[in-house]
């Protein structure tokens, strides 16, 4: 159902451009022109919304792509900010990466996103005609790295960038 642009109701949309499903069957929708993410249970019942229009982490101007990793983190691309924001399933902001530009890790009109079974995060960068690939390190991988290296602190979730733009 279309939403009222001045007072969007829960469960209504204004240009939903992305959807993703977590391992429990919950559906997350990037509700682009309402500057939010909506979550629905496996039966289609509304659960919650997070994000709003703004310029700080956890807010959106043009949320487009959305994906969920194996640990249940929700990744949302924002075309206006040229970044990826990472949330937990409750909608708390965990991390933000990416900026506007042409270098690896930078984007111009960031759009789609998906995460494969090897935890590679593929991000579509429309104006640069490329897909950038990042690697998410799960909590389990971070703990194993800590143990293997004898570090006093786990490296935590991280990423490594690989630019797949045509040469």
pLDDT of residue 162: 47
As beta bridge partners, residue 31 has 16, 36
pLDDT for the residue 149: 63
pLDDT at position 155: 32
User: Both tokens of residue 87?
Assistant: 């949330």
CA–CA separation, 57 and 48 (whole Å): 19
Structure tokens at 117: 């079974």
What contacts 99, CB < 8 A, 6 or more positions away?
82, 83, 105, 106, 107
Digitized pLDDT (tens) for each residue of the chain, 167 residues in all: 666 666 678 888 999 999 999 999 999 999 999 999 999 999 999 999 999 999 999 999 999 999 999 889 999 999 999 999 999 989 999 999 999 999 999 999 998 999 998 889 999 999 999 999 998 877 777 777 767 765 433 333 444 444 444 33
Q: What is the pLDDT of residue 131?
A: 95
Dist CA 84 CA 97 (whole Å):
5
* 117-79-5 Cα angle (round to 5): 110
């Amino acid at each position: 159902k279309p939403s009222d642009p001045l007072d969007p109701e829960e469960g209504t949309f204004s240009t939903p451009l992305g959807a993703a499903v977590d391992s429990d069957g919950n559906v997350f929708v990037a509700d682009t022109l309402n500057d939010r993410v909506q979550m629905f249970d496996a039966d289609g019942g509304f659960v919650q919304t997070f994000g709003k229009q703004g310029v700080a982490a956890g807010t959106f101007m043009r949320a487009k792509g959305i994906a969920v990793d194996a640990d249940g983190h929700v990744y949302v691309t924002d075309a206006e900010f040229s970044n990826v924001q990472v949330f937990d399933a409750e909608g708390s902001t965990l991390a933000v990466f990416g900026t506007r530009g042409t270098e690896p890790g930078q984007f111009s009109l960031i759009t789609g996103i998906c995460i494969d079974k090897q935890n590679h995060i593929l991000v579509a960068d429309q104006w640069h005609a490329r897909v950038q690939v990042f690697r998410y390190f799960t909590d389990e991988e971070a703990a194993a790295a800590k143990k293997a290296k004898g570090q006093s602190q786990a490296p935590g979730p991280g990423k490594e960038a690989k630019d797949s733009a045509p040469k």
